[in-house]
Structure 1
């Protein structure tokens, strides 16, 4: 027995030693890719020495003799910290994910190949102005210089993820940067989904479109045509839908998760300190690392500092000494679906206004890891690329013998958005920045501006010119063979919504309806917000003058206008009714919940139980209304709260209270009946998960921020290392926005929010502040992987200074780049 015990001890010791050696080896090779921020490099492609001064938060301040040298260094800094993220963004837009991930990303690759955004980016390179061409070339040289340094010095392949996926790292090109800007348009693309969903509801009849997808309040819009009348052969029962998503790692997301933002500015006359103020917080899916990366560039036009996206040589939201700018998704309708009729005699042809025409076609091969390559035949009509029916639920609204094509501004092969954005970054005034935006094509964004004298706002992006006789006004797929439905160019930039030097001295956007013009100058019928704008309008109007602190307070505000508006309606006949019920009964539990909600002010604070009760109640209430009429598949398209819909139902607008009557039951249920049953069901579910003591429930336990690694985050072991989780306040409709998952085991998890926050104060520019949601580094072994995450969660910031001496005083490292000696 003793001998056996000795052998067991030896085997266990050997296994532990082997495990330790293995883990040590993994750590060694992974740590090799951690950059040395105090190193010096002699590199080709530079005209003079450059310094990259890293602050304690790892924000690079880049000083060079020329702009091209500065952009070179930015490319190198991006690659040092976010090489894997950059390669993933590029592979996504190229449709080459399956080369390393296999068949699970094939659907995404197919869609991206058919759209050919990358081909449009390549074609757009010659369209850039000389300064932008030079910046793109220099930036690509900087990225490639770091790739070469990694290879020559065996620096762990540049990122630990490359050890897990055997992917070759191709050199960076100017087209790659333009393509990533186009990829951002995909994250903002919502009109495809809304057109299809509106058509599906139209096919079901019952007037459900007007209730579930009502027009944003404002001056009227004419009624929609009947989709079934346009396409008599379209499927009549569109309840069934494609159960799968657009594909693994797809940049296209449900409208609730699409890019959004808050941006607002106050002119000097509305500022307590006499200088203009600007705040911006772009919203996007929360990831680790964040989409955003902070940087400061010292250019010939002056210093600029703010938020960049790795892969793109631009400060997309930030400030210079004279100008501040912020971006927000505009929700402009720059996408239209067209139903193309196929020739029954030859399906390679389609109907046009002048007769049958052949599709433009091209074959491409998609390489798939551990599987046979897939050959795709890409097709284009005169309206745009033909989309596969397996995406966006297109099969549910595409008549037999037809296909669906897409017109989209982001598909432009002469896209000068990069040049326009670079000119905005170098502008010295609001007026100059507005003029510089003329060449911006996609993604369409609302640009908020502030200089030392005034503030302004303008919608950037190519807005399609539509005929007034368009059959669906772009709200649903339209017959592509009717000339009046087709795009007729773009509206002049002068017609884009804009305001400069407003009389009230304040401009705001929360992705809300910004303008009320008749079609076809309408900009959009679908907007990204109807709730946050009411709260921001109130906060901006409560003060005669504002300060940096009041702008920060608004940015971090967690009061839900939706909660304040819906609770009095849904609980109108439930508050304080009936005798007190005995302790321990469901009735008493309901009464206690209603007592808490009656005294609640709508603050979605992470430490309170009321936000959790409200969110669970509204989710259960809406779900009961929708599943009864629409069925589970179509109801699943509305997993997030629809405040306008619920308000219509509870106010019985145009008879909308009919949604409360359960079709399958004999009695006629009222909205009060459904509200009571929904509250009881929600409380039972919460009690099972969080315990019987209602006062101990915390919204933050359910509304945990999920900053997950996009690739490794789903692996149980690696996710524990790579993912960042935090209890957070806020909700779907608060200014401090935290969009919930909506479904699954954690429906209230915070998965989409402000990846970047910045507040710029021109009374004291160096008191401006910013923060991102994770850290600057994408390397999990780096101390800068998540060092800003706690600041972000607590609503804190770091200074935004353009003072070189302050940057050097706080330097945690200085990387020195010198031109390489020419080879003899």
Structure 2
């Protein structure tokens, strides 16, 4: 048995290792006109050189397929709604949702509207991917990835539309307004006191936007069916649909030469997405006719999404622009195939779509569209809870555009040398909306890019609640001009930045959004930026890695105001004594969310328990939709803003509880949970034991034994509201696992561009037997970086291999 086991292990290793890329080889391929050289530096970052730009994009496609073929095919299958062909009924609901949106169909149509340079890049990139597929087939290279042995479905050739579709898939991950509208409506229906809605789902405190109507007032006498079962497309690791808290975040800041110690512009960027193994980011350098470009790419997409050239740097943060609206459509009671429009009833546009399912019969899906967009069933996004009987819900969304020129904007950015050229390129960007932070040799700028829906000033819910689709004033009036998007160029203070905070305070309909991603990190960022007259690359790195929680510093004095240093001494082993020890630790704490300290865990557990105590009695099961403490809500309650302290009284109990009672009870709840999970020795707790960064393989990460090889877990500092953001899961057995954060970090110094640095959270390879699968992970965890240089000789020094692609002789 031992011998047989050894033989099996050796055989498996041989089969799986066949797909490990050989970076040091020369092959002849068709589809190029010049020799392509891919130099893999000592961190396995490919530097692609060729005789023309098309062949450079070909080389990038080949490199992506070398290292991330499985990831690319899964991204494509996901956006196509074809996961069930591989994984069976488990992913059927994900496929149904994506088929209804038909993002891939919109991507196919969008190919023709790209400019000639972009179409050439897409075609060349696809040819590079397909050349790697051909190489795998010809040389029997283990199907290209270890996962292909378990899931052996054929791989279709790569097409230009596939790359555009992956950008649209990113819009799925970064968009949360649809879910937020539904939750806002559900919460409105649940609360007895409508005034309390402004507490639990608050606007940014600096907002001057007027109150919105109660959702029920739009539907006098209507019945809202509560579904016994709902379709949750967010739980599966393969799902691109995110809970609203995970819908995208990021940091970016820039300094003008006058605020830089070395006299050159500075830029730091760390986009935040859900953690996976491998991560979504892939580092690369392209040597184009306009010069070298280096930064973070997404496998499947032929461009540098965030990075720099010799003269321009750019970074992305989620803008949280309101680019989605839910419409409630009235179905004709006499003809279920029609819906009401401002001009009367009109037939739904319908289309059949067949979903093939592994080991099961195929399912035929009937897709329906209204003028406003695709119709979604009530089981998706909990829409059934807010859709009156006799109605259906549809969705307007900029990502559904069949004339999406986002890819052309991204390619044009590669060739831009100045901020003015980059801003011009951004006009073609459609989705997902981003804040584009730019620096060139002389100035800095920030511009919101992406299509901003134009809404009527008479819109009845202002886009924050689902609205009636047959009222003309509720419908989109097209797209606002690019000039209406927020823009900041060369500010007088010489500093620009965004932590997903509110960027403008404009009245509806030019408000950009009701829902911004950050009200907390921006305070710490402002303090760090203004505490120095001039900045350096290292001070930008310090800010990027900062773990001090402004939220902890501001909320702890509020919720513990009547608990600090009060009460009589209690004997050891009693709850009172444990509470006193916890309060003593927190009173001496500076708010730093260090992985090595106990206070962050006590604070995080207490805050979580406080919110649950405040909302559970009024919201019931709906409280589960608020898994992360909302700092503004808790502050409103403990400052009694507009009567918000009413949340402290538990409605179902006879006594009238105070906010101090809730704080004390919640602290006891938190300590009981900590004692059961980590023990009663508070001083020996480590935040990092709870705040493990979980880079899990979306498919193999749950397989016994194998998960220890494919998942990457690390003790980390930071938290939900620190600049070194590590958003916690908020639910389950490990509510403080770090599941969403900076998968890429880059800091660019244009006083000495080759001193710029970057890093990703895992490694370059998607092959778990490769040493490059996780070789960057520990550097990332420790806050270290690797050089981001355009010096070709530095790339060749200690390179792990050079792949040479030669054109096939005619």
TM-score normalised per structure 2:
0.99
The answer to whether the Cα contact below 8 Å between 2:226 and 2:384 also exists between their aligned partners in 1 is: no
Deviation readout 1:346-394 (Å, 9 max, x if unpaired)? 1110000000100111101000111110000111000000012111110
Compute the displacement of 1:235 (Å): 4.2
Corresponding residue number in structure 1 for 2:495: 506
Corresponding residue number in structure 2 for 1:767: 755
Deviation readout 1:584-618 (Å, 9 max, x if unpaired)? 22111111110110111110000000000000111
Find the residue that maps to 1:607 and give its secondary structure: coil
Compute the displacement of 1:219 (Å): 3.6
**Equivalent residue for 2:707, pick from 719, 744, 750:** 719
Corresponding residue number in structure 2 for 1:758: 746
* Aligned pairs for 1:518-557 within 5 A: 518-557=507-546
Corresponding residue number in structure 2 for 1:3: none
The answer to whether the Cα contact below 8 Å between 2:332 and 2:339 also exists between their aligned partners in 1 is: yes
Corresponding residue number in structure 2 for 1:642: 630
* Aligned pairs for 1:601-620 within 5 A: 601-620=590-609
Take 1:377 and 1:295, find their aligned partners in 2: how far apart are those partners? 42
Corresponding residue number in structure 1 for 2:72: 86
Corresponding residue number in structure 2 for 1:5: none
Q: Are positions 1:253 and 2:242 aligned together?
A: yes
Find the residue that maps to 1:785 and give its secondary structure: coil
Find the residue that maps to 1:102 and give its secondary structure: helix
Take 2:16 and 2:728, find their aligned partners in 1: how far apart are those partners? 34
Take 1:93 and 1:219, find their aligned partners in 2: how far apart are those partners? 36
Corresponding residue number in structure 2 for 1:144: 130
Take 1:744 and 1:517, find their aligned partners in 2: how far apart are those partners? 39
Take 1:239 and 1:252, find their aligned partners in 2: how far apart are those partners? 20
**Equivalent residue for 1:445, pick from 434, 437, 460:** 434
Deviation readout 1:711-739 (Å, 9 max, x if unpaired)? 11112222111000100000000000001
Tell me, which stretches of 5 or more residues in structure 1 are unaligned?
1-14
**Equivalent residue for 1:685, pick from 659, 673, 680:** 673
Structure 1 window deviating more from structure 2 (297-306 vs 235-244): it is 235-244
**How many equivalent pairs are there?**
807
The answer to whether the Cα contact below 8 Å between 1:703 and 1:729 also exists between their aligned partners in 2 is: yes
Corresponding residue number in structure 1 for 2:727: 739
Find the residue that maps to 2:762 and give its secondary structure: coil
The answer to whether the Cα contact below 8 Å between 1:203 and 1:238 also exists between their aligned partners in 2 is: no
Compute the displacement of 1:247 (Å): 5.8
The answer to whether the Cα contact below 8 Å between 1:660 and 1:670 also exists between their aligned partners in 2 is: yes
> Cα–Cα, structure 1 residues 234 and 391, in superposed 2: closer, same or farther, change >3 Å?
farther
Q: Are positions 1:375 and 2:364 aligned together?
A: yes
Corresponding residue number in structure 2 for 1:410: 399
Structure 1 window deviating more from structure 2 (688-697 vs 153-162): it is 688-697
The answer to whether the Cα contact below 8 Å between 2:94 and 2:233 also exists between their aligned partners in 1 is: no
Take 1:383 and 1:562, find their aligned partners in 2: how far apart are those partners? 40
Compute the displacement of 1:18 (Å): 1.5
Take 2:280 and 2:168, find their aligned partners in 1: how far apart are those partners? 15
* Aligned pairs for 1:215-614 within 5 A: 215-235=203-223, 242=230, 244-246=232-234, 248=236, 249-614=238-603
**Equivalent residue for 1:702, pick from 680, 690, 693:** 690
TM-score normalised per structure 1:
0.97
Corresponding residue number in structure 2 for 1:161: 147
Corresponding residue number in structure 2 for 1:72: 58
The answer to whether the Cα contact below 8 Å between 2:227 and 2:379 also exists between their aligned partners in 1 is: no
Compute the displacement of 1:238 (Å): 6.4
Deviation readout 1:545-579 (Å, 9 max, x if unpaired)? 00000000000000111111110000000000022
Compute the displacement of 1:218 (Å): 1.2
The answer to whether the Cα contact below 8 Å between 1:94 and 1:113 also exists between their aligned partners in 2 is: yes
Take 1:193 and 1:241, find their aligned partners in 2: how far apart are those partners? 17
**Equivalent residue for 1:816, pick from 793, 804, 809:** 804
Take 2:366 and 2:151, find their aligned partners in 1: how far apart are those partners? 28
Compute the displacement of 1:240 (Å): 7.8
The answer to whether the Cα contact below 8 Å between 2:693 and 2:714 also exists between their aligned partners in 1 is: yes
Compute the displacement of 1:234 (Å): 4.4
Deviation readout 1:513-533 (Å, 9 max, x if unpaired)? 000111111100000000001
Find the residue that maps to 1:713 and give its secondary structure: helix
Take 2:787 and 2:509, find their aligned partners in 1: how far apart are those partners? 44
Corresponding residue number in structure 1 for 2:767: 779
Find the residue that maps to 2:702 and give its secondary structure: coil
Take 1:499 and 1:660, find their aligned partners in 2: how far apart are those partners? 42
The answer to whether the Cα contact below 8 Å between 2:412 and 2:425 also exists between their aligned partners in 1 is: yes
> Cα–Cα, structure 1 residues 239 and 819, in superposed 2: closer, same or farther, change >3 Å?
closer
Find the residue that maps to 2:604 and give its secondary structure: helix
Corresponding residue number in structure 1 for 2:779: 791
Q: Are positions 1:116 and 2:91 aligned together?
A: no
Find the residue that maps to 1:377 and give its secondary structure: strand
Q: Are positions 1:191 and 2:184 aligned together?
A: no
Find the residue that maps to 2:804 and give its secondary structure: strand
The answer to whether the Cα contact below 8 Å between 2:225 and 2:387 also exists between their aligned partners in 1 is: no
Take 1:111 and 1:243, find their aligned partners in 2: how far apart are those partners? 10
Find the residue that maps to 1:347 and give its secondary structure: strand
The root-mean-square deviation of aligned C-alpha atoms, in Å, is 1.1
Corresponding residue number in structure 2 for 1:12: none
